Amino acid sequence: IMSEPDQTAEPSTPTDEITFDPPLGRVPNFTFLHPVLSGSRERWVKNGGGTQLIKILKDGPNMQSFRTLVRFTIAMFAVPAVVMALVYALLPMWLGPSVARRDLVMYSGIAAIGSVQFVVAAYIVYAFNEPEPDATSEAASKKRS
């Protein structure tokens, strides 16, 4: 005797779309079902994908913005690490050798957090003081396109 196929099985999803097995059994409407994410792979491929992204990034003002992003991203990791190491190494000289190790770590962490805030503030100041692109550079970049 042949059994009938199971009608409760969910339809298969295409392999080129994002699949997600949510822990609560359903996906909220504001996540992967959002219209911006629906068909994103097709739009990416149709509009040139990575090649087009590299072309856009190589444009004059975009290249400068990308370099700024990379510099400040590196600074967000490097500056706190250096500050934490320096404070950990130099604090016993300032406060004396009787400072407990856990206190050294705590003070070093606080200094690292403060340095992150300094990097964020430096980026904001840099962004607001960045010169506006003039019409001649915009025209030159349009000619290259």
CA-CA distance, 83 to 65, in Å (whole number)?
26
CA-CA distance, 34 to 24, in Å (whole number)?
18
* pLDDT tens-digit readout, 11-55: 555 556 666 666 666 656 556 666 666 777 788 888 888 888 888
Question: DSSP E strands: which ranges in the chain?
Answer: none
pLDDT for 25 equals: 63
Q: pTM of the entire structure? A: 0.56
Count the neighbouring beta carbons within 10 Å of the beta carbon of residue 87: 20
pLDDT for 74 equals: 96
* pLDDT tens-digit readout, 93-113: 877 777 788 888 898 999 999
CB-based burial of residue 89 (10 Å sphere; 0-12 exposed, 13-18 middle, 19+ buried)?
exposed
Average pLDDT over residues 134-140: 55
Please tell me which residue, 57 or 144, carries the higher pLDDT value: 57
pLDDT for 33 equals: 61
pLDDT for 100 equals: 81
pLDDT for 112 equals: 96
* pLDDT tens-digit readout, 54-85: 888 888 888 888 888 899 999 999 999 999 99
pLDDT for 12 equals: 55
